Structure 1
Amino acid sequence: MNLAGTLTEVIPVDDDSRIGQARRRAKQLAEQLGFDQTGAGRAALVATELATNIFKHAQSGELHCRVVPGRGGQGIELIAIDRGPGFDAHRCLRDGFSTGGTPGEGLGSISRQSQVLDIYADERGAVVLARLFPRDVTDLRLGVNQHAMRNEAACGDVWHLALRGGKLSALVIDGLGHGEEAEEAGRCGAEAFAQRPFEHPDALLTDMHRAMNGTRGGAAAIAQYDADSGTLQFSGIGNIGARLISAQGSRGMASHPGIVGVQYRKAHTFTYAEANAQLLVMYSDGLQSRWDLGDYPALGMQHPATVAAVLHRDFCRGRDDVTVMAIDLELLNG
């Protein structure tokens, strides 16, 4: 499985006309992926309920849409994000319970129509994740939230992910600056990485350096996990952040100074033992680095896509392209 990165599509939910827009977009994505009529209807219903909940209970927020990989095919991811008063997820999942005087069928309906439903709500707001897949396709516990600065068409951040048996190789590149030239730099590096993603990270960075020569260059980081040994290797040049998170705490991963495609002294790969069943988070500098999942009770146990969405909501700088990738390393076990 060799997965090229895509941007997150954002639908602002700031008036009731956006509900129809969300419904139409979800149905369109489902049809593009080959969902049957019933499946496309499910996607439209889930998008409608998510957007309606934002508008009625938080007044404004966003619906994030993207095509996501699964085991055996692709599916649709819809994430409702707001900064409202939060809610009790367990109570709201029961049909008939409502915080806004409605019939109280929204979250219950979303749960029945989706293969994956994940909710995180506190005083900062709420994130509701729903994923829908065609028959015989199952979820992968990974999530990416990626946005171009000011929602421009070109994004200087690029990600790529490869899975093979019990091995994973993940890449994040931040092309210098933003816009088309930054995107070109990132794409050149990602194409070199994709040709042999399970080579040693030092060799991959050398290939990427050669491929990005003549472009603006950028920061880049590679994380490779082997489920058999439970070890993770990490090599980075520039300011891509990365952390391994467990119930016991968080381990930051070190990068070296330089610009891939322009100049750096030498890559060095660090090995982190006992990484199994931990959460890997990689992010570009469009995300502030001062976040701590310990400030969000139990968030580390949620779906990685929920984690990525919460971090983007609360720590996006807003003045650069931004990427947050979160991967449950246990997805490769067994």
Structure 2
Amino acid sequence: MRDQILCDIRHDADVGELRRQATAFCQATGFDEESLGRVAIVCTELANNIIRHAGSSGQVVLRQITETAVPGIDIVALDTGSGMSNVERSLQDGYSTAGTCGNGLGAVQRLSDLFDIDARPRHGTAVICRIWSRPHPDLFPSPFITGAFRLPASCEEVCGDTWAIDQMDERLCCLLCDGLGHGIHAAEAAEAAVTSFLQARGEPIVSRLEQIHEALRPTRGGAVALIEIDANSNRLIHVGLGNIAVRYRHRGQWYHLPSRQGIAGHIRASLRSSESAFEPGDLLIMHSDGLSSRWDPAVKPGLFERHPLLTAAVLCRDHRRGADDVAVLAIRRSEPCDNTF
């Protein structure tokens, strides 16, 4: 079964179809009746909002969360409509600009275990919701908040760009891979990279990339970048092969981390890692070349303070190249006692 479903929302009939797909998607991973009901209401309200306020020009993406002991689902609604002039007011029950009772967005927020929104006037609306299949156990505070989003190329059902996250207490290691081209063979290369990355857990990231290179030899190969962040030492280590873009914000300034030229699995240069400071409040963005590298943080005030999943989704919506797969991974170092998300 696919771990992600993309639904275009253009007509009223798409609302019911999204609800049916979301319910079936969640039943397969063991959602109870109460959680299934929440998923159905959230999807219905988000899709109706696209129909009413965005000129039927939006998408809802459903992604299974299977990396934790309790399965869940991320629901991401994106549109290119007129946005909102006052988000806080729009979340209040009884407020509406479309002649409805005005309880939809507030209900979505209440029914979600995680909720965040970006809705700048004339720039569209993006909403993320996370719903767990059953009550989620309390987790120890993490020094990292992560979010990733991907979309396949136009006319493709599978995405050849993917990511993996490996966290051990205060240390986070992550991979972003862009399988060469797109379609099923690109996806096979990307999944081979993920498998190798996870099998080499605990090894230095240069060694992990070398092993990924060997694992991708039978495939068409791809571009790969690895990041390791140590919260105890406030250090970031990067190594990359191919055109995965890596940008990070440190103390308010943005920097680029270059990768070596090559194709993992086929053409490998001498691999060398680089180190940088990465402190609480800093933010890192990794993305494949399915996203234009010309995005400007100054044009999107406030977006990079939102949940990393919302940041990644909005970057995909606004700057993707439709002819290719795209994946964006965002990581923020948490401030001490930061429980915002």
Gaps of 5+ in 2: none
CA separation of 1:232 and 1:69: change in aligned 2, threshold 3 A: farther
CA separation of 1:213 and 1:148: change in aligned 2, threshold 3 A: same
Aligned to 1:306: 310
Of 158, 164, 167, which residue of structure 2 is paired with 1:163?
Answer: 167
CA separation of 1:71 and 1:230: change in aligned 2, threshold 3 A: farther
1-structure distance, mates of 2:66, 2:218 = 33
User: Quick check: 1:218 aligned with 2:222?
Assistant: yes
| Amino acid aligned to 2:289 | D
Paired residue total: 329
| Amino acid aligned to 1:322 | V
Aligned to 1:47: 43
Q: Deviation of residue 143 (structure 1)? A: 1.8
1-structure distance, mates of 2:317, 2:334 = 25
Q: Deviation of residue 328 (structure 1)? A: 2.2
Q: Deviation of residue 138 (structure 1)? A: 6.2
Matches within 5 A, 1:12-51: 12-51=8-47
Aligned to 2:78: 81
Aligned residues of 1:178 and 1:320 also touching (Cα < 8 A): yes
Matches within 5 A, 1:215-254: 215-246=219-250, 248-254=252-258
Residues 280-289 or 206-215, more deviating: 206-215
Matches within 5 A, 1:56-205: 56-60=52-56, 61-68=58-65, 72-87=69-84, 88-122=86-120, 123-133=122-132, 134-137=134-137, 141-205=145-209
The 3-state SS of whatever aligns with 1:149 is: coil
CA separation of 1:72 and 1:330: change in aligned 2, threshold 3 A: farther
Question: TM-score normalized by structure 2?
Answer: 0.90
Aligned residues of 1:46 and 1:110 also touching (Cα < 8 A): yes
The 3-state SS of whatever aligns with 2:119 is: strand
1-structure distance, mates of 2:256, 2:3 = 26
Of 5, 10, 22, which residue of structure 2 is paired with 1:9?
Answer: 5
Could you give the per-residue CA deviations for residues 23-73 of structure 1, whole angstroms, max 9, x where no partner exists?
A: 122222332332221111011001100001110111221111111357642
The 3-state SS of whatever aligns with 1:144 is: strand
2-structure distance, mates of 1:248, 1:33 = 41
1-structure distance, mates of 2:159, 2:91 = 37
Q: State percent identity of aligned pairs.
A: 37
The 3-state SS of whatever aligns with 1:73 is: coil
CA separation of 1:92 and 1:333: change in aligned 2, threshold 3 A: closer
Q: Which runs of 4+ in 1 moved over 3 A?
A: 69-72, 137-141, 331-334
Residues 214-223 or 246-255, more deviating: 246-255
**What is the alpha-carbon root mean square deviation over aligned residues?**
2.1
